[in-house]
Copies of this chain bind each other. A is one copy, B any other.
């Protein structure tokens, strides 16, 4: 089956340049993948980036309007299906494309996706999940920034979605879930995490472990760590920063001598897991988990390499046909 991916060509700090660089790179790196892209944006601008190779895989669709990075989501919603982002999302809704990718305004992308593509039953707001390297493989952490402020109900829904993700996409039988907090004791934390924990203790779809702390992500104490998008985003970036600093200091201390250089070489393979943290472009492409279609957000400041990776995430999710699996997971169907 030919995969068709809708692309918001105008989203991102350096769009549409990095978008077309990303598409070209993806095509070059995946010569055998049967794929078509529908690029939405200002046609005159897009045309200037087209190459003979791109013309084989990319079809351009003109959009008069563009959603800027600073536009409030509520205003973006009013623009609806007119701007390039709305048009790209609507292509999925109409069944023309299997997935949509944008590096544009996150709030607007989420709001429009929610309205046009809808969330699963029982899910109010999608969340961004990420698999973070841990002692046993990886820990799924969500939300990583889609929802800055979350209610207890949102956290409960993230727990359900995270469980479905690990059960259905990572084949973990009865994934354990923890809520990120300042301590593991039941009395710790604010009212929101307290209420969420209360709801989760007897939840039929969640194997609730209780509260977990920041270091439990690396320890793999649980399979799924639930938190609000404010804390999650800051924690993910703090981990990234730490790994990059650690790697830098390590390199410095090992580069002085021949023996050190050999040591550095030996350390390389087993530190590969951490590499994706050192080059954030390599894990660019975050799913809005909870939507009824595949919607992939690329980082706004990414380059062609990063955008190509976001496209790859979208392509993989389409090929794995993740939506029916996630839906089954949410309904408790085993």
Contacts and interface: CB of A to CB of B under 8 A. Distances in A.
Contact of A231 (B230, B248, B256, B257): B230
A240 B214 contact: yes
Given A148-B189, A213-B237, A235-B214, A253 B230 contact: no
Contact of A219 (B181, B231, B241, B269): B241
Interface in A103-132: none
B274 A246 contact: yes
Contacts of A254: 263, 266-267
Given A135-B248, A149-B190, A267-B253, A238 B241 contact: no
A28 to B, nearest CB: 30
B242 A218 contact: yes
A57 interface: no
Contacts of A262: 259-260, 262-263
A231 B229 CA distance: 11
Nearest to A227: B234
B270 A253 contact: yes
Given A215-B238, A231-B230, A238-B239, A250 B249 contact: no
Interface residues of A, number: 60
Given A238-B214, A244-B215, A245-B133, A250 B271 contact: yes
Contact of A182 (B189, B230, B252, B271): B230
A169 interface: no
Copies in the complex: 2
A236 B263 contact: no
15 contacts: A135-B248, A180-B234, A182-B234, A213-B237, A214-B236, A214-B239, A218-B242, A218-B245, A238-B239, A250-B267, A253-B271, A254-B267, A259-B262, A259-B266, A260-B266
A199 B186 CA distance: 35
Contacts of A246: 242-243, 246, 271, 274
Contacts of A252: 270
A281 to B, nearest CB: 14
A223 to B, nearest CB: 16
B256 A266 contact: yes
Given A266-B254, A273-B249, A274-B249, A243 B241 contact: no
Nearest to A264: B263
A219 B237 CA distance: 11
Nearest to A269: B253
Nearest to A249: B270
Interface string A258-288: 0110111011111101100000000000000
A309 interface: no
